[in-house]
Structure 1
Amino acid sequence: MNTQTMAMNWRKSLLILGLALAGLLGIWREATFGMVGIWWRSDTFAHGLLVLPIAGWLVWRDRERLIALNPQRWAWPLLPLALAALMGGLGQLAQVDAAAQLAVVLMVQALVLSVLGPQVGRALAFPLLFLLFGVPIGEFMLPTMMDLTADFTVSALRLSGVPVYREGLNFVIPTGHWSVVEACSGVRYLMASVMVGTLFAYLNFGGLRRRLLFVGVAFVVPLLANWLRAYFIVMLGHLSNNKIAAGVDHLIYGWVFFGIVMFLMFAVGARFSDLPPGQSPERRIISRGEVSRALALWAPLIMLSLSLVTAPLWLERLRRADVQAPASLPALTVSGWSPQELTLPWRPKLEPALLHRQQALKGADGHWVLLDVGLGVRLTGQAKAIGGQNLLLDSEDRLWRVLARGRDHWRVLGPGLWGRDQVYLLRRLHWVDGRFIQAAEAAKLAQVWQMLKGQGDAAAQVVLLTPEEGQGAQRLQAFTEQVLAPLNGCLQALALPSGRHNAARCD
C-alpha cells in the first residue's frame, strides 16, 4: 500500500472515529459531564483533569510509528462495546454513577479498537488503558484508610511516649484534640501516586516485571507516607503547643511532605531505568493478518452494540412507573410504642429530593428509638434514595463522632438530652421492592431488578437511633422486628404502582 493510499485511509478512519466518538459521548453526556464535573470540584479526583492531556501526549509522541500502520475495521471489539453499554445502562438506571462512567471509558476504548483495528490498537494499548485513571472510583476506600491512618498515628504516638486516649477516629493527647477526617485518609495521595507511577514505569522500564514492581512501589509508598505525615503533623502540633501544623499549614505540610516523597521515589526509580533516553517503550508490532469482515459477524454485533449504546435514550422509561410521588410522609403507628416528644440535633444528610420524616417512639420500659425515613419516588437528575451521598454522619460534624462501625449497627457519640455527651446505637436499612436490605450494594441490585420489572424506582433509607444505655442493642433489635411490617405496608401504600400495594396505612 503506497503512502498516499495509507494517508487517505487514516483520514477516513479518523473522520469515522471522530463522528462515532461524538455520537457516543453525546448519547452518554450525563455520565460524561458528571465525570468531568467530579474532576473539577473534587480534590480526590482532580488528577482526572490530567488524564486526557497525558493520553493525548502519549499518542502524539508516537505519531511517526502510528502513521506507518494501516488502520482497518475490526468487528470483535463491538462485543465488549455492547457489554460495556449494558453495564453503563444498568448503572445509569440504578444511579450508580461510577458504573456508568466506567462504561463510557470502556466504550471509548472498544470504539477506537473497532475503527482503527488490532495493529493500531496494540500501539495505542497504554494510552487507551491510561484513560481508566480518569474514572472517579475509590471513595469506598475512605473508611478503611481513615481507620488505618488513625491506628498508625495512635500507635506511633504511644511509642513516642505521648499518652493517647482514642475514640474511633478521634483521639486526645495532653496538648489537644485531634481527629482523622477524609482529607487525612490518603486516598488522594494514593490515586495520584499510582497514576503518575504507572506513567513513569511505562516510560522508563521495558520489561513487564519492572513496570509492575514500580507500580507496586507507587501503591505502597503513599500509604506509608500518609501515615508518617499524619504522625509528624500531630507531633509538630504537640511539640509546638499547637502553634504550627494546627491550621491551614496542616494541609500545606502534608502536600510538601508528599511531594518530597514522590520526588525521591521517582529519583530512585530513574536510576534503574532500562530504556535508553528517547527510546519509545514499545517497538513490537503484531503481524497484519487479514481480519474477517463477513456480514454474518458484523451485522449481529452492530445491531447489538447500537441497541445497547443508545440505552440512555430508552432505559429512563423504566424509572417511571404508574405512580405519583406522595406529597409527604405521615407518622407511623407501631404496636406497643407510643409517640415521644424529642429534640435531638441529628438527622441524616439526605438528598433534597427525598421525602423525609423523623419521629421518636417510646417503649414500655421508658426508653426511646428515633425512626428516620427518607423516601424517593420518580427521582430525576442525580438524586438517589440509595447511595453514598446520603450520609448518616458528616465527617466534618464536630458534635457527632463514630466510635465503631459494626456489622449490625454503629456506636456513635453525640449530644445527650441533658447536656452531656451520650453513646448511641445507629442502624441503617434500605427499603426497595417491598423488602428491607441492609447492604447498600444488594439494595442497588434489587432496585435495578425492580425497575426492569416495570415497577419504578421507589426506594427508601430507614435509620434507627437509640441510646446504648439500658440494653440498647436488645431494644434496637426488638424495635426493628416490630416496625418493619407496618413500615413496609406504609411505604408500599405510598410508593409502589397501583395494583401492587396493599391497603396498609401509616397511621
Structure 2
Amino acid sequence: MNTITASEDAQLAAVHAGPAQVPPPVVQWWIAGAAVLLPLLAFFGTAASIVSIWNRSATFAHGFVIVPISLWLVWRRRDQLAQLAVQPCWPALAALALCGAAWMLAALSDVLIVGQYAFAAMVPLTVLAVCGTAFARALLFPLAFLLFGVPVGEGLIDPLIQITASFTVDALRMTGIPVLREGNSFSIPTGDWSVVEACSGLRYLISSVTLGCLYAYLTYRSPWRRVLFVLVSLALPVLANGLRAYMIVMIGHTSGMTLAVGVDHLIYGWAFFGLVMLLLFWIGSFWREDHTEPLTAMRPTVRVRSAPPAKVAAAALGVAACIGVWPAYAWYLERGNAAPPPVALSFAAAMPSAPAFTAWEPDFAPASASLRRFYRVGTAPVGLQVLYYRDGGAGKLISSTNRITAARSGWHETAVALSMEKIRGHDLVVRETAVAGPGGRFVVWQWYAIGGRVTASEYVGKLLQSKQKFLTGSDDGAALMVFTPYEDDPAAARPALRAFLREHLAALDATLAQNERQ
C-alpha cells in the first residue's frame, strides 16, 4: 500500500487547481500608457497640424472619430489583453528611430504628409517596443486604424476629376446628348458644366474606404472576405461618383437648368452616395462571420509572467531617446535660421517692356519676394513671374496647395505636359500649362530653381530642398514662370518663350544666385 506524503499531496492539489495565478502587471501597464503619450509630446506640432486640417477641411473631418473608434476597438479586447504578458520588443526601437528619421526628412523638405504618417506610425511601434509582440498582434487593427486619421488624398483630386469628367461625358454621349469638351469643362445644348474639386469624389472615396475597412474587420473573419470587401469599397465610390455627376447633369438638362445647378446638387450627391453605401453594407451582411470567433480567442490561455517594471521602464526610456533626438535637432536648425536676411530681386531685361496682357496670377502661397514684369519679344508679349521663398516666410515653395490657376477664378488649365527645351546649349525641363479664361488663352512655362539646380519635378525639388537644408540650414528656392498668349495652337506660343529665355535665363540665374545663402 502506497502512502502519499504531505508535499506530494500539495503538488497534486496544485496540478488539479491549474496554473498558478500571476498578478496583473499594473505597474507595467501604467508605464506603457505613459510611453504611448511620448510621440504626442515630442511631435505635438505635427499632431496639431493633423487636427487643424480636420477642422478646416470637410474632406478630412472624419479624423475626429478615428481616435475614439480606435480606443473603443482596444476596449473590446480588454479581456484578451488582461491575459497577455508585457514583454518589451527591443528591435522595435530601431523602427522608431527610422520613423524619426523619416519625420526629420519630411521636416527638412516641408513634406507635411510624410511627417504626419511617421508620427502616426510611432504610436503602434511604441506599443510594440514597450508591450511586446503579443500586445501588438492583438491590437493590430485598432493601432493600424489610427493611420486613417492622417489627412491624405489631395494628390488624387486631379486624377479623380479626370475620371469623373470622362465618365460623365461618355455617359452623356451614350444617352444621345451632344457634348463639346475642353479639359474638365464641357457644354451640352442646355448649358455649360465643369467638374471642379468638389466634384472629384475624394470625400466619398475616403469615407468609403474608412468605413469599408472598419466594417470588414468587425463583420468578417476570413482574410479573403475582408480584402474583397475593402477592394469593393475602394472601387465603388469612384463608379458612384461618376453616376452621381451624370445624374446631376441629366437633372439639370431635363429641368431646363433649374434643378441641380447650385447647392442642391451637392445634397443630391451625398444622398445618392449614402444610398450606395447602405446598399453595399446590406449586401455585405449576407456573408458576415462576426458570430464565429477563432478558437484561439475562446480558449483560456495560461498567463506568462510579465517583464519586471525596470525592464519595461528601460524600454520606455529607449522610446524617448529614439524619437526625442529628431525634434531636438530640428529645433537646432530652426534656431540657426531665426533671422534670415531679406531677399532682393533685381532684374534688368534687354527687351522693351510692354503693358500687362493678362490679370492672371498663379495661386501660390505668399512669397518672401516676387517679381512680375511684361516684355515684348518681336510682336509677341511675354510675361515673367518669379516667386522667391525663404525660411521663415509665410508660404512654401512646393506645396499641394500651390496651383497655376485658382479655384473659382475664371481661369482653368486645358493641358499640362513636360517639355525639354534647349537654351544656349543647356537642357531646361519646364512644365508647360495651357490656360484659358477671361481675356483669352496663354501658355505658361514653369520650373523651380533650388541651390543652383533647376527642375520641373516637385519630388526632385523637395529632395533638393532637403539636401540644401541639411548642408546649409536653408531651403531657399524660387518658382519661375514665363507666359505668352496664343490663338488656336499652344505650339505657336513656344518660339517667343524660347527667345525670351535665350536672352535672359542667365541673368535670372544670376539674380537668384545673389540671394542664395552658403
Global fold match (TM > 0.5): yes
2:342 maps to 326
Q: Secondary structure at the match of 1:389?
A: coil
Q: After TM superposition, list the pairs within 5 Å mapping 1:81-480 onto structure 2.
A: 81-276=96-291, 279=293, 283=297, 306=321, 308-318=323-333, 320=336, 324-326=340-342, 328-330=344-346, 332-335=347-350, 337-342=351-356, 344-363=358-377, 365-379=378-392, 383-397=395-409, 399-408=410-419, 409-416=432-439, 422-469=440-487, 471-480=492-501
CA contact (8 A) 1:84 1:103 kept: yes
CA contact (8 A) 2:32 2:316 kept: no
Q: Secondary structure at the match of 1:44?
A: helix
CA contact (8 A) 1:141 1:187 kept: yes
1:281 Cα deviation (Å)? 11
Q: Secondary structure at the match of 2:168?
A: helix
Q: Secondary structure at the match of 1:413?
A: strand
AA matched with 1:352: P
2:14 maps to none
Q: 2 CA distance for matches of 1:455 and 1:118?
A: 39
Q: After TM superposition, list the pairs within 5 Å mapping 1:4-83 onto structure 2.
A: 5-6=23-24, 9=25, 11-83=26-98
Residues 169-220 of structure 1 deviation map (CA, whole Å, 9 limit, x = unaligned): 1111111111001111011111110111011111111111111011000001
Alpha carbons of 1:22 and 1:476: their partners in 2 closer, same or farther (altered >3 Å)?
A: same
Alpha carbons of 1:131 and 1:3: their partners in 2 closer, same or farther (altered >3 Å)?
A: farther
Runs of 4+ in 1 over 6 A off after TM superposition: 284-293, 298-305
Q: 2 CA distance for matches of 1:121 and 1:304?
A: 16
1:484 maps to 505
CA contact (8 A) 1:354 1:385 kept: no
Residues 239-274 of structure 1 deviation map (CA, whole Å, 9 limit, x = unaligned): 011221111111000000000000000100110113
1:289 Cα deviation (Å)? 9.2
CA contact (8 A) 2:363 2:404 kept: yes
AA matched with 2:396: K
**Comparing 231-240 and 308-317, the one that deviates more:** 308-317
Q: What's the C-alpha RMSD, in Å, of the aligned pairs?
A: 2.8
**Comparing 350-359 and 232-241, the one that deviates more:** 350-359
Residues 422-475 of structure 1 deviation map (CA, whole Å, 9 limit, x = unaligned): 221122211111111101111000000001112512111112221134821232
**Comparing 436-445 and 340-349, the one that deviates more:** 340-349
AA matched with 1:391: R
AA matched with 1:402: E
**Comparing 98-107 and 304-313, the one that deviates more:** 304-313
Kindly tell me the number of residue pairs found equivalent between the two proteins. 481
CA contact (8 A) 1:89 1:308 kept: no
Q: Secondary structure at the match of 2:383?
A: strand
1:419 maps to none
Alpha carbons of 1:239 and 1:121: their partners in 2 closer, same or farther (altered >3 Å)?
A: same
Q: Secondary structure at the match of 2:89?
A: coil
Q: 1 CA distance for matches of 2:413 and 2:243?
A: 23
Alpha carbons of 1:425 and 1:142: their partners in 2 closer, same or farther (altered >3 Å)?
A: same
1:46 Cα deviation (Å)? 1.4
Q: 2 CA distance for matches of 1:32 and 1:412?
A: 38
Q: 1 CA distance for matches of 2:36 and 2:514?
A: 45
Q: 2 CA distance for matches of 1:41 and 1:427?
A: 32
Q: 1 CA distance for matches of 2:498 and 2:163?
A: 30
Give the TM-score, by structure 2 length. Answer: 0.86
AA matched with 2:264: D
Q: 2 CA distance for matches of 1:308 and 1:26?
A: 10
Residues 73-97 of structure 1 deviation map (CA, whole Å, 9 limit, x = unaligned): 2211111111011001110121111
**Comparing 133-142 and 300-309, the one that deviates more:** 300-309
1:505 maps to none
Q: 1 CA distance for matches of 2:278 and 2:352?
A: 63
**Comparing 445-454 and 456-465, the one that deviates more:** 456-465
CA contact (8 A) 1:203 1:280 kept: no
Which structure has the larger Rg? Answer: 2
Give the TM-score, by structure 1 length. Answer: 0.88
CA contact (8 A) 2:35 2:130 kept: no
CA contact (8 A) 1:413 1:423 kept: yes
Q: 2 CA distance for matches of 1:164 and 1:461?
A: 37
AA matched with 2:435: V
AA matched with 1:234: V
Alpha carbons of 1:307 and 1:220: their partners in 2 closer, same or farther (altered >3 Å)?
A: closer
CA contact (8 A) 1:357 1:374 kept: yes
CA contact (8 A) 1:329 1:355 kept: yes
Q: 2 CA distance for matches of 1:250 and 1:33?
A: 33
CA contact (8 A) 2:87 2:307 kept: no
**Comparing 341-350 and 161-170, the one that deviates more:** 341-350
Alpha carbons of 1:91 and 1:254: their partners in 2 closer, same or farther (altered >3 Å)?
A: same
Alpha carbons of 1:61 and 1:304: their partners in 2 closer, same or farther (altered >3 Å)?
A: closer
CA contact (8 A) 1:94 1:448 kept: yes
1:338 Cα deviation (Å)? 2.5
Structure 2: runs of 5 or more not aligned: 1-18, 420-431
CA contact (8 A) 1:203 1:281 kept: no
Alpha carbons of 1:455 and 1:492: their partners in 2 closer, same or farther (altered >3 Å)?
A: farther
Q: 2 CA distance for matches of 1:430 and 1:168?
A: 25
CA contact (8 A) 2:154 2:400 kept: no
